[in-house]
Structure 1
């Protein structure tokens, strides 16, 4: 899981400061404040790590099929207030839950700068594990110097030592480092696995179809719009194995808790290879296409919670979209319970007051949840993104809530009462 994140001169952020990430991390705030940028930084590292070109330093996107996000070019990413040298950096720390004993806590720091050719170059990369630090620093004409810990002189330098995909040192550099190279290679592999394991679901999800074909295989990824969610449900119901119906049953259980449906069923159309999803609620059963949009929009969120690999990271933007208040509230329980059950880390960007309030209640019921939940409020101040840690005590009370974000429920009630009293007085005249 990721344990911290820090952005400097990246889009809306001049310097985010070190942001602690916990098993459940909630990002709240005003529109266009910089919430999504925090998420996008991890997606940028993921699509770079997964690039088919190992020599690439930063994959800003553009491939609609394989990339998660199109960031444009360097100037689109660089913060407008960045001073010379015009560069931005991404720092992440992570802990592998099943890591080898000598690779427990890992740090990655990448600094990027535009070079004379107009392309983006990795100016410096630093990879650390358990206090040992490996650094590659760019010199003239694409040559890199390799440093270990606080050694004043580089172990080696040359163009053949250029890092790969921002997370790996070259084979030549690893060989030159000897036994240290073995540790560095294993550490880079752990970083790659963690990034590749990220499951991301954006705020815009596909509308349901009346029926679906199935190619008799399990999808590799659900896609940012949840397009693979139905295939995952079909595979869960139709493929043989010990985990048959695991995803389907999990989804049905949470649909019931959200009062959206009693269960969901996969039904074959005759003897064809076409299948439909049937939603059962009370005495009524109907095609997914014929129920409220909220069910189809929450399906990918529920599916990814059971489809994602155990111990991995799930990133969600506005999971509450099109849901009624009770269902929004229940999402907080989903993140806490399924997170613990499947050892998942949820990083959630949301505008939902109901989700936030239920998380407060869960903390009040079990103060130990404070250790597993972090909540942040992001806003703009003088054109720059600013982060505030939301401080919650052991009974769920928020100690520093920004004014006006969720409105003023008590104030609204007071104003309604005042108006009612005034009208009663007028009627008596």
Structure 2
């Protein structure tokens, strides 16, 4: 789980400060305020560690098949107006779900532009407990390796450049002696934290009428929801003792949202093709024929049950095309699965209904302000500004930005005033 994040000179952010991340973190804010940049910083590192080129320092994208985003050039990531040094940085802290020699740690990396326009690591710092390692870029592309706060490097060479932003190369590990194993384990745990991010964007693909199951389980749901049905088919048709666990869980939440009673899978004859059937009000319909709301929420619910314990599920606008009650129930889904399955949710949303239900859950003591972070992002001139919403034990927010969700009470007052005025005119 990611426990904090800090960005400096990254896209809209001059400096976020240290942002505390919780098991459920909700990002709110106006359009184009900088919310997505917070999410994208972690996705940039995820696609870097998954790059086939281990020598890459930062994978800014361009491969439509394998990359999550195309960030463009170094200048597109660097905050506009940044003067010397032209440098941006990403820092995060984490707690590992799986117990090992490294149970928590911190990653910090700053980047500058090379002569050919690529992003190159200026300084990488990895730490866990009392162990801290740094790789600092020197002249002529050489890198110096430091342990803790020592001012003299234990090695300096052009072959010591970090790999995929998170790892020291084998030559550096060897120079660290007995500390080398810790540094290597730390990089592996950081890589696992980033690889275990499941991301779903706001644009999700429409369903097919039927699907072929090739008797395999996908590694991950893709950012547009692709592979969701493969997960459902694998979960329902595999003989692993957990048959229908995911399907039953999804059916429960669809019923809570009052959009369907359950989902089932129907084989087409004796072929390897299957339909997803939605049951509601005594009618069984193909997923393709039930409107867009259920197909769009299906990847969100599936990700919550399919992501391995300890994963981070990042969602942009999960409420798309859902009616108000269903949006509210999403808050319960995030809270319950974060606790029962040890999944972290980072959710960017514009839904007032989701937010209000989160307040209610805190008031009911079904969760607490210690388990939930609600962050508001706004734009002041050309800078993104973050405000942590202060929520008390009754779910009340005492530093709420004015007019973001409109003025519901004011609208009610105005309606009452107009009704009274019209009645007086008629009398």
Length-normalised TM-score, structure 1: 0.98
How many angstroms apart in 1 are the aligned matches of 2:255 and 2:351?
A: 20
How many angstroms apart in 1 are the aligned matches of 2:99 and 2:12?
A: 34
How many angstroms apart in 2 are the aligned matches of 1:368 and 1:11?
A: 33
After TM superposition, the runs of 4+ consecutive aligned structure 1 residues lying more than 4 A away are none
Aligned residue for 1:411, secondary structure, equals helix
Aligned residue for 1:153, secondary structure, equals coil
Aligned residue for 1:369, secondary structure, equals coil
How many angstroms apart in 1 are the aligned matches of 2:55 and 2:367?
A: 45
Question: Is 1:179 equivalent to 2:195 in the alignment?
Answer: no
Aligned residue for 1:166, secondary structure, equals coil
Q: Which ranges in structure 2 are unaligned for 5 or more consecutive residues?
A: none
Q: Which ranges in structure 1 are unaligned for 5 or more consecutive residues?
A: none
Instruction: Give the number of equivalent residue pairs.
Output: 427
Question: Is 1:69 equivalent to 2:74 in the alignment?
Answer: no
Q: Larger deviation: 281-290 or 378-387?
A: 281-290
> What residue number does 1:25 align with?
25
Question: Is 1:109 equivalent to 2:112 in the alignment?
Answer: no
> What residue number does 1:361 align with?
360
Deviation at 1:368, TM superposition (A): 5.0
Kept in 2, the 8 Å contact 1:392–1:399? The answer is yes
Deviation at 1:367, TM superposition (A): 7.0
How many angstroms apart in 2 are the aligned matches of 1:331 and 1:391?
A: 21
How many angstroms apart in 2 are the aligned matches of 1:147 and 1:311?
A: 31
- Show CA shifts across 1:237-287 (max 9, x none): 111111111111111011011101110000011112211111001211111
> What residue number does 2:213 align with?
214
Length-normalised TM-score, structure 2: 0.99
- Show CA shifts across 1:43-91 (max 9, x none): 0000101111000000000111111111001000000031211010000
Kept in 1, the 8 Å contact 2:391–2:397? The answer is yes
Deviation at 1:307, TM superposition (A): 0.7
Kept in 2, the 8 Å contact 1:208–1:289? The answer is yes
> What residue number does 1:348 align with?
347
Question: Is 1:150 equivalent to 2:110 in the alignment?
Answer: no
CA RMSD of aligned residues (A): 0.9
> What residue number does 1:425 align with?
424
How many angstroms apart in 2 are the aligned matches of 1:267 and 1:325?
A: 30
How many angstroms apart in 2 are the aligned matches of 1:137 and 1:207?
A: 47
Aligned residue for 1:172, secondary structure, equals helix
Aligned residue for 2:234, secondary structure, equals helix
> What residue number does 1:334 align with?
333
How many angstroms apart in 2 are the aligned matches of 1:369 and 1:338?
A: 15
Question: Is 1:46 equivalent to 2:46 in the alignment?
Answer: yes
> What residue number does 1:37 align with?
37
> What residue number does 1:138 align with?
137
Deviation at 1:351, TM superposition (A): 0.3
- Show CA shifts across 1:321-340 (max 9, x none): 00000000000100010111
Q: Larger deviation: 344-353 or 214-223?
A: 214-223
